[in-house]
Amino acid sequence: MVRDYNNRHALDQKLRGTPKPAHVDHLEVGHWQAIATVLAHAGLDAAVQRALSSTPDLSLRYCGPGEWLVVSQVDTPVGLMRRLDMLCGTQAHVIDQSDGRVLLRLSGPSARQILAKGIGVDLHPAAFALGGSTNVLCGHIAINLSRTGEDIFELIVSRSFAESLFEDLMTMGRPFDLSAAFSE
Amino acid sequence: MASLITCPHCGVRPKEEFTIRGDASLVRPAPSASDEAWHDYVYVRANPRGRTVEHWHHVAGCRRFLVVERDTVTHEVYSVVDGATAAREAQR
Amino acid sequence: MSAYRLSSGGLVDRSKVLSFTFDGRPLRGLAGDTLASALLANDQLLVGRSFKYHRPRGIVSAGPSEPNALVTLGSGARSDPNTKATVAELYAGLTAKSQNRWPSLGFDVGAVNGLLSPFLGAGFYYKTFMWPRQLWEKLYEPVIRRAAGLGRAVLERDPESYEKTWAFCDLLVVGGGPAGLMAALTAGRAGLRVILADEDFRLGGSLLSETETIDGSPAPAFAERVVAELLSLDNVTLLSRTTVFGWYDDNVFGAVERVQKHVAEPSAKLPTERVWRIAAKRALLATGAEERPLVFGGNDRPGVMMAGAVSTYAERYGVSAGKSVAIFTSGSSGYRTARGLAAKGVTVSAVVDSRAEASDAAPDGVRVIRSGAIVDTKGRQRLSGIVVERSGFEELIACDALGMSGGWSPVIHLACQRGARPVWSEDLKAFSAPDVGNGLRVVGSANGVYTLGGCLRDGAEKATAIAAELGFNAAAAQLPVTEPETDPSFAALWYVPGAKSKAFVDFQNDVHAKDLGLALREGFGHVEHAKRYTTSGMATDQGKLSNINAVGILAGMRGVSPAAVGTTTFRPFYTPVSFGALAGTSRDGHATPTRKSPLHEWAKKHGATFVDSGLWFRSAWFPRAGEKTWRESVDREVLNVRANVGLCDVSTLGKIEVFGADAAEFLNRLYCNALLKLPVGKARYGLMLREDGFVFDDGTVSRLAEDHFFVTTTTAMAGAVMSHMDYCAQVLWPDLKVRFCSVSDQWAQMAIAGPKARDVLQQLIDEDISEAVFPFLAARSMVLRGGIHARLFRISFSGELAFELAVPAGYGEAVAEQIMEAGRAHGICAYGVEALNVLRLEKGLLTHAEFDGRVTPDDAGLGRMFSAQKPDFIGKHLSARYGLTAADRMQLVGLKPVDKDKDMRAGAHLLKEGMKPSTLNDQGWISSTGYSPVLGQHIALAFLKSGRERYGEKIVVWDKLRDHEVVAEVCDPVFVDPENKKLKA
């Protein structure tokens, strides 16, 4: 018995159906990307960070001392694991989280105002600069937040919380007509 | 209590991101230590007025245990350092 | 008619007429009105009844300190009790109702209390209703609550929506009057991130009722220019309709914005109210000053108002409080009101000045009575005249409104909310703000600066200083030009002697001067005691008008300075805030987040009934057509697993990957059983203790490589175990080379249990998983046909031949479906947590129903897991304590009712037959019960004193709470397959 298994996205139920046009403030949900946790061996934080940040196509998200989430839009989960093992396998432990994390991209002129309703961190560009990332509480849910553009933020959330976070974000964005869809 | 804690790893954060475990001055006794020492470690806590050190777990952030030195009367926070750093220093 | 709309003037839009109702009466106001100004314009002076005596009361103030004009706005579920008419913005379609009156505002039966007032003095309730004690709850309190009290809360569901938000700034300015606007402008121009919050719907504060000019133009025009410039600055946020209600640690402020309180039909997109948490590097309190009422006989007659309020109604709203207005003042402010009224053509009947001498000028032709005192007022439901006493002579002066001014008190509440006490200032004859450091400074008239020019300068200077502190370059502010003015002075006058009728100190709580005397005589002279004893300064206004006079009167009676009396404690909230606003969006389904399993859609497809389990939504059972009760479904699922095979979602278990050279050592110290020598490819059951020796959590530990483990926890304790591990790794043993992270969400995990489990699973896997190759407790990664990377564990929570299969979460649904398909020929069924519970119960396997924090490994029959040989692990030392090793500890046993048809309930206690229920006779308790379809009867797991020696004994199961009692036989807790033949098949 051999078959192709379908991978169901955690927000499948929420976003299924014909895509609607995106509004200025838009929540885009990454359908396919590979995400891994990287845990540096003791004393090797800086070496691992160097190895990872010098690699194109990999986006590094800081979680805590010696811990990152690495996001790739080009690799498969297995491919990313292989790449990371080669890059830093002797300096760090690498754990696949592609199925355990959901990535949401909030963009638009009101993005900061929307996030301020859930996040108690100053998101002014002077305080949270482009390229910055951190673990943070959004409402009741712990997420990883990064600024990938002036008005673009990416939120990575644990899969089981994804529906709740999605609903929260849509409520927070209601005054701004926030729209949502899977990315193309 | 403080409204904001400056995490050495994550920056200024609201208190909702933390859970407080309590007295950070305790040192776990050796396995062979006396029953009294173990009893004190597990059960006996002071309720200090003024300066105190506590373990705050940045559970929604970097998940590090921080040693927060603060004043229970004025609520002023004097310092926040990583718990492992503090523990290593204490063991020295 | 006496109060009326002036023919011109004010900041109201005379072209926009708004219709509203008050107690059902249709009335008209203008855009820019408050409800209070619109009521006054309609000569509706009487707006409520007082708390205790039900005396008629009228509008007193023009702001948030209002004690009397409390109304219920709206109707049905949308009604808002205790809304101050003086701050409620008028809108078309507003409906307002007066409160605390029956049957009507004009005729109130409760007013009979006024006749009884000699018996209703301070402390009356405490004295009269003391005895008999049991009547307090049943009779006295309900009756008093009905008679007294203000508006009524509605019991319907609140249809409004609310939200909360964070904000960060360099400078928060609280208050948008002259000082606040000037400060915001100075800081905004310097580039600071500024937030200016003001409770009014229009920014400007006192500028809006100011008669003087600034830079040659009217003050309101100046305010408008400043606001326009502030709006043009990207770094400035203006929040009108926003009350800053609290000052918290680390300079965090709480504020509530009334986003849609002023519209008849709120938009579904917007919240009704929004709570702001503002973290400010610096803050300026520009909250102004409060005018003090005068305590004289009959001072609560409708028509008696604050002089400043009379001015505000005239200047800002174009409404005169009366046709003939008298002024009673102890300082220059009263004269200012008189001049303003006269300029608008309103008759000023007299200015009564308590002082013997004053340089203040009354308008031409207005009579000034110096050294005068009002000792009584006339009129029924509104003022018709005042009785003025001077040099022993009394005179009746006709008037239909009276403006009173007893001087000014800075509004300093926020500065005193974090423990610092107000400081008495002899200069200001008022309590002023304490020095609370650089974070919060007081500016303008809140700082005791009472001239317009002074306020503008103070605002500019303090903002410039703050800009410099924060590293900004503030240009030297160009101060606007104001008219020459004299510093307004006043004499402190706490009580006007010679009162001919009640002289009220606190209008809202009906406290008059004599009540304070009584409190003092009865030993309640301390300001905090007097407040509770007399109720002065309680309820919705918290004594914003009354407190200072109460303190002054107490000081006078005690013969000390007000400094010695002090003030009551200032706490958040400055003004009342609705619960809805504080809850924000955290309500209903969003009070907490909901976690969904990756197999949720699969379970739904198979008809699962779901149950809340912590944050999780878990499948409880899978009813089939024809099954009428949940028990039928659960019994079928259990029997099918025992006979064939079943699939259960166990994805909610906590899953943690542990890595590192010291990973084995770390786990060995964390669990009470030995793990160092766990072979690669094997799983082991693990038991974690707390440091006090009791069981903390259980789960499995699998070794995937020499330095790589996969650990599971129970669903309930997943978070707690992870935090415990963080603590142990970081604080207890920071030098162990170990790292770990949660993968709970990465894996969909399913149990496939039953004699045919292997036959089903083998169809998905190429590798041999036979007993010989993949025996009990085998654990390793493998690839499913089709290329899915999976992990397979030969573990069982049912006593059956069982596997747990973990696949990447997104594939969980597809793989589960494939297993169901592969199992169809074997009679597979989906089973939920209820059947899971029965299966484990029949095998005497334990959950947190047993591990309730009072149970040691030995109590639970797991003493063999406790590795005394290990040098150290969490909980080892204290496990050896006497109490934890005593022979008569309660031990895990099974129970079966002697009468097979009887059931048992968890929580029931155990007693020897014939013994009375008592703590002393308590033999134990039941932790879990369920119906075993295999045994055909109810079974239970219980903890019983020395239980393992008592198999066969009959014991009474006693459950008084549910009035249930049966006799049961004590037995081995393993009810099914005690030899584990099926497990290792």
Domain ranges of chain B: 15-26+33-91
d(CA C644, CA C195): 68
Q: Which of C163, C166, C748 sits opposite A119 (nearest CB)?
A: C166
Residues 6+ apart with CB under 8 A from C974: C843, C844, C894
Using CB atoms, which chains have 3+ pairs under 8 A with B? A, C
Query: Which pLDDT belongs to residue C588?
Result: 85
Which residue of C251, C741, C747, C761 is the best one to mutate when testing the A interface, meaning the one whose CB has the most A CBs within 10 A?
A: C741
Task: Mark yes or no for CB contact B3/C876 under 8 Å.
Answer: no
- Band the pLDDT of C890: cuts 50, 70, 90: very high
- Band the pLDDT of C313: cuts 50, 70, 90: very high
Task: Mark yes or no for CB contact A65/B12 under 8 Å.
Answer: no
d(CA C652, CA C592): 17
Q: Which of C279, C730, C735 sits opposite B4 (nearest CB)?
A: C279
d(CA C407, CA A42): 69
Residues of C in contact with A8 (CB under 8 A): 598, 601, 810-814
Q: A34-96 domain in CATH 3.30.70?
A: yes
d(CA A13, CA C571): 47
Residues B30-44 pLDDT 10s: 999 999 999 999 999
Residues B58-74 pLDDT 10s: 999 999 999 999 999 99
CA C123 centroid distance within chain: 32
Please answer whether residues C403 and C326 qualify as being in contact, where contact means their C-beta atoms are separated by less than 8 angstroms: yes
H-type helices in C811-917, by residue range? 812-823, 833-842, 876-879, 882-885
Helix axes C307-315, C333-343, angle to 10 degrees: 30
Judge residue C412's burial from the number of C-beta atoms within 10 Å of its C-beta, 0-12 exposed, 13-18 middle, 19 or more buried: buried
Residue C658's beta-bridge partner residues? C709, C740
Q: Which residue has the tokens 């303090």?
A: C462
In CATH terms, the fold of domain B15-26+33-91 is Folate-binding fold (3.30.2270)
d(CA C211, CA B90): 68
pLDDT, chain C, mean: 93
Stretch 47-106 of chain A: residues touching chain C, C-beta under 8 Å: 66-67, 77-78, 93, 95-101
d(CA C481, CA C483): 7
- Band the pLDDT of C145: cuts 50, 70, 90: low
Eight-state DSSP code of residue C863: G
Read off the pLDDT of each residue in A100-124 and give the average, rounded to a whole number. Answer: 97
Question: Which residue did the predictor score with more confidence, C243 or B1?
Answer: C243
d(CA C481, CA C215): 5
- Cα torsion C236, C237, C243, C248: sign: negative
In CATH terms, the fold of domain C595-652+746-840 is Gyrase A; domain 2 (3.30.1360)
What is the CB neighbour count within 10 angstroms for residue C520? Answer: 19
In CATH terms, the fold of domain C888-985 is Elongation Factor Tu (Ef-tu); domain 3 (2.40.30)
Stretch 112-171 of chain A: residues touching chain C, C-beta under 8 Å: 113, 116-117, 119-122, 124, 127, 139-141, 158-161, 163-165, 167-168, 171
Strands (E) across chain A are located at 26-29, 34-40, 58-64, 67-72, 92-96, 101-107, 133-138, 141-149, 152-158, 179-182
Nearest CA to A104 out of A146, A59, A41, A51 is that of A146
B46 touches chain C (CB under 8 A): no
d(CA B87, CA C255): 40
Q: Which of B14, B16, B62 sits opposite A64 (nearest CB)?
A: B62
Residues C837-872 pLDDT 10s: 999 999 999 999 999 999 999 999 999 999 999 999
Provide the token pair at C420. Answer: 């610092």
In CATH terms, the fold of domain C654-742 is Alpha-Beta Plaits (3.30.70)
Searching chain B, which residue's CA lies closest to the CA of residue C436? B74
Residue C442's beta-bridge partner residues? C285
Task: Mark yes or no for CB contact A139/C813 under 8 Å.
Answer: no
d(CA C861, CA C10): 84
Helix axes C178-189, C452-469, angle to 10 degrees: 30
C585 touches chain A (CB under 8 A): yes
Task: Give yes or no for residue C726 having a pLDDT over 90.
Answer: yes
d(CA C286, CA C298): 34
d(CA C42, CA C106): 16
Q: Give DSSP secondary structure letters for C211-274.
A: -SEETTEEHHHHHHHHHHHHHH-TTEEEE-SEEEEEEEGGGEEEEEEESSTT-SS--TTS-SEE
Read off the pLDDT of each residue in C671-693 and give the average, rounded to a whole number. Answer: 97
Task: Give yes or no for residue C93 having a pLDDT over 60.
Answer: yes
Query: Which pLDDT belongs to residue C147?
Result: 58
Q: Which of C248, C692, C731 sits opposite B84 (nearest CB)?
A: C731
Amino acid at C70: L
Please answer whether residues C597 and C652 qualify as being in contact, where contact means their C-beta atoms are separated by less than 8 angstroms: yes
3-state secondary structure of C754: coil
d(CA C401, CA C421): 37
Please answer whether residues C688 and C671 qualify as being in contact, where contact means their C-beta atoms are separated by less than 8 angstroms: yes
Q: How far is C734 from chain A (nearest CA, A)?
A: 10
Task: Give yes or no for residue C377 having a pLDDT over 70.
Answer: yes
Eight-state DSSP code of residue C542: T
Residues C106-139 pLDDT 10s: 776 666 666 666 666 676 666 655 556 666 666 6
Query: Which pLDDT belongs to residue A1?
Result: 46
Bridge-based pairing state of the strands A34-40 and A92-96: antiparallel
Q: How far is C259 from chain A (nearest CA, A)?
A: 12
Q: How far is C744 from chain B (nearest CA, A)?
A: 16
- Cα torsion C527, C533, C539, C545: sign: negative
The region that residue C832 occupies, defined by phi over 0 for left and psi between -120 and 50 for alpha, beta otherwise, is: beta
Q: How far is C872 from chain B (nearest CA, A)?
A: 6
Tell me what percent of the residues of chain A surpass a pLDDT of 90: 88
Task: Give yes or no for residue A19 having a pLDDT over 90.
Answer: no
Provide the token pair at C893. Answer: 């046993």
Task: Give yes or no for residue C1 having a pLDDT over 60.
Answer: no
3-class secondary structure per residue, C618-637: EEEECCCCCCCCHHHHHHHH
Task: Mark yes or no for CB contact A64/B9 under 8 Å.
Answer: yes
Read off the pLDDT of each residue in A100-105 and give the average, rounded to a whole number. Answer: 97
Domain boundaries, chain A: 13-31+100-182, 34-96
Judge residue A4's burial from the number of C-beta atoms within 10 Å of its C-beta, 0-12 exposed, 13-18 middle, 19 or more buried: exposed
- Which homologous superfamily is C162-289+410-469 in? FAD/NAD(P)-binding domain (3.50.50.60)
Provide the token pair at C771. Answer: 């007993």
d(CA C716, CA C726): 18
Tell me what percent of the residues of chain C surpass a pLDDT of 70: 95
Using CB atoms, which chains have 3+ pairs under 8 A with C? A, B
Nearest CA to C312 out of C656, C104, C63, C611 is that of C63
Sheet holding C789-793, edge to edge: C779-783, C789-793, C802-808, C747-753, C646-649, C829-830
Nearest CA to C727 out of B92, B19, A38 is that of B19
Provide the token pair at C372. Answer: 């005068």
Residues of A in contact with C167 (CB under 8 A): 116
What is the CB neighbour count within 10 angstroms for residue C156? Answer: 10
Please answer whether residues C754 and C830 qualify as being in contact, where contact means their C-beta atoms are separated by less than 8 angstroms: no
A120 touches chain B (CB under 8 A): yes
Provide the token pair at C950. Answer: 């008592």
Provide the token pair at C663. Answer: 């990973």
Read off the pLDDT of each residue in C322-332 and give the average, rounded to a whole number. Answer: 97
Task: Mark yes or no for CB contact B65/C735 under 8 Å.
Answer: no
Task: Mark yes or no for CB contact C734/B63 under 8 Å.
Answer: no
Bridge-based pairing state of the strands C324-329 and C401-405: parallel
CATH for A13-31+100-182 (3.30.300.10, 1.10.3720.10, 3.30.1330.60, 3.30.1360.120): 3.30.1360.120
C→B interface, C-beta within 8 Å: 166, 248-250, 252, 277, 279, 418-419, 691-692, 723, 726-727, 730-732, 734-735, 871-872, 876-878, 881
Query: Which pLDDT belongs to residue C642?
Result: 98
Task: Mark yes or no for CB contact C881/B64 under 8 Å.
Answer: no
d(CA A27, CA A170): 8
Using CB atoms, which chains have 3+ pairs under 8 A with A? B, C
Read off the pLDDT of each residue in C415-443 and give the average, rounded to a whole number. Answer: 96
CB neighbour burial string for B60-78, b if at least 16 within 10 angstroms, e if fewer: bbbbbbbbbbbeeeeeebe
- H or E segment at B83? helix B83-91
Residues of A in contact with C806 (CB under 8 A): none
Query: Which pLDDT belongs to residue A56?
Result: 87
Residues C772-795 pLDDT 10s: 999 999 999 999 999 999 999 999
Task: Give yes or no for residue C149 having a pLDDT over 60.
Answer: no
Provide the token pair at C327. Answer: 């002024």
Query: Which pLDDT belongs to residue A133?
Result: 97
- Band the pLDDT of A2: cuts 50, 70, 90: very low
Eight-state DSSP code of residue C564: H
Stretch 2-21 of chain B: residues touching chain C, C-beta under 8 Å: 2-4, 12, 14, 19, 21
